Amino acid sequence: MIIPLIIRPATPADLDDVWRMWKEVMEQGDYFPYGPEYTRQQIESGWINPENIIGVAEADGHIAGAYIVRPNQPGHGAHVANAAYMVDTPFRNQGIGKQLCAHSLEAAKAAGYRAMQFNLVVSTNTGAVKAWEALGFQRIGIIPEGFHQKGKGYVDAYIYHRFL
């Protein structure tokens, strides 16, 4: 089911909600490589960086998810974007991650990126795998046991790419 969303650029007023989601996702240890030791200041430095494109999804007046688009590499690799997405727990399994990704693809293209690459998609994140492939991403690599998933141990991770 896809719920109606407003996806818009993030503002400093959204940082409390983004931080709350971030902490929850990190503590779950399922799909993000960052651990709970990351501080709000470290996270904000990435989200406030003017090189990055930050979007949030609002559903029923609540921040339901967020994304960040940034250069995948510096210098000669900066024409390829990288992105990360998070969806607040009560809003999961409703197509919000896919909608955030679709929005971020347009934002990245408008910003002049030529492609987008995901460097570490956890193989057990079947919802993300299905969404990314439906949006035209191709799996271009596998990192054997590339992610240490809380409660499951070492699982494979995928690399995805798509031209914009």
Cα dist from 51 to 54, 102, 124, 130, whole Å: 10, 20, 31, 29
Task: With respect to residue 25, please indicate whether it lies within any of the assigned structural domains.
Answer: yes
What CATH number corresponds to the domain at position 11? 3.40.630.30
Task: With respect to residue 103, please indicate whether it lies within any of the assigned structural domains.
Answer: yes
Q: How far apart are CA 6 and CA 122, in angstroms?
A: 27
pLDDT of residue 41: 82
Task: With respect to residue 1, please indicate whether it lies within any of the assigned structural domains.
Answer: no
Task: With respect to residue 132, please indicate whether it lies within any of the assigned structural domains.
Answer: yes
pLDDT of residue 43: 75
pLDDT of residue 19: 83
Q: Tell me the mean pLDDT per 10 residues along the chain, length 164.
A: 82 85 74 71 74 90 92 96 92 91 98 97 94 97 94 94 98
Task: With respect to residue 128, please indicate whether it lies within any of the assigned structural domains.
Answer: yes
68 strand-pairing partners: 54, 84
Task: With respect to residue 43, please indicate whether it lies within any of the assigned structural domains.
Answer: yes
Task: With respect to residue 81, please indicate whether it lies within any of the assigned structural domains.
Answer: yes
Residue 59: give the domain boundaries: 6-163
Q: What is the pTM of this model?
A: 0.89
Based on the structure, what is the number of domains in the chain? 1
